[in-house]
Amino acid sequence: MSRALDGVSSVVHLAAFGSVVESVQDPFENFDVNVRGTLVLLRACAAEGVEKFVFASTGGAIMGNTPPPVDEATLPWPISPYGASKLCGEAYCHAFAGSFGLSVVALRFANVYGPVSDRKEGAVTTFIKRALRREPLVIYGDGTATRDFLYVDDLCYGISAAIDAQVQDEVVHLGSGEGTSIAELARLVLELTDATDTSIQYEEPRRGEVERTFAKPERAAELLGFTASHSLRRGMQKTVEWFVAHGVD
């Protein structure tokens, strides 16, 4: 890490063990990657004089089943090892700001989607691939669970704003501020892929997954000048078009 950080002024830490479901299956590997990995990087940043550290945290997984909308003052209550590991990463960010003077911003990402995401796990990618193959879409639970979906270009804008922001030690939710049910998402995907005759199947909920979440966007606007510019329909249209154009199914 010392060699990698030579001459670097800002670090955006995106690497992670990102699956909620797999974190339940193997919490030790999740801890090793997300907590120990973050600590190793923070220590190197402090030693090499890095000026700004932007940490990719998570919204819903950290807040658990706290009734939405949540904000930065809401008490975190993770219900999965993944959420716990990200909350621990945030704590280490605060500690390095306090102990070493490192400027840190923890960005609690909403559910990110967009083009070039064919290898990404999650409902959006899975739904699009199955819809294009005219295979039934599978929803875990009754479909009423909600998520805050954020288009990837909006996310990148928020990250860039966090690098430039004159802040020392902050936590900020990056999201659209709107909750969309998984059933609504499935119906939108079927519409955009012209697969409305494809069925939707419902299976038992999976352990560790949050029921309902979306975050207030006011603090992101105040500190970073951030506002999501893509509606879910507009962003999903671009995403589906990319999957079709690249023959990903």
Residues known to be catalytic: 82
Q: Where are the alpha helices (DSSP H) in 76-217?
A: 81-100, 123-132, 152-164, 182-192
Structure tokens at 160: 């860039």
In whole angstroms, give the CA distance from residue 32 to residue 38. Answer: 9
Helix axes 182-192, 123-132, angle to 10 degrees: 40
DSSP 66-84: PPSSB-TTSPP---SHHHH
Q: Quick one: 27 exposed, middle or buried, by C-beta within 10 A (0-12, 13-18, 19+)?
A: middle
Euclidean distance between the first and the last CA atom of the chain, given in angstroms as a whole number = 37
Contacts of 99 (CB under 8 A, 6+ apart): none
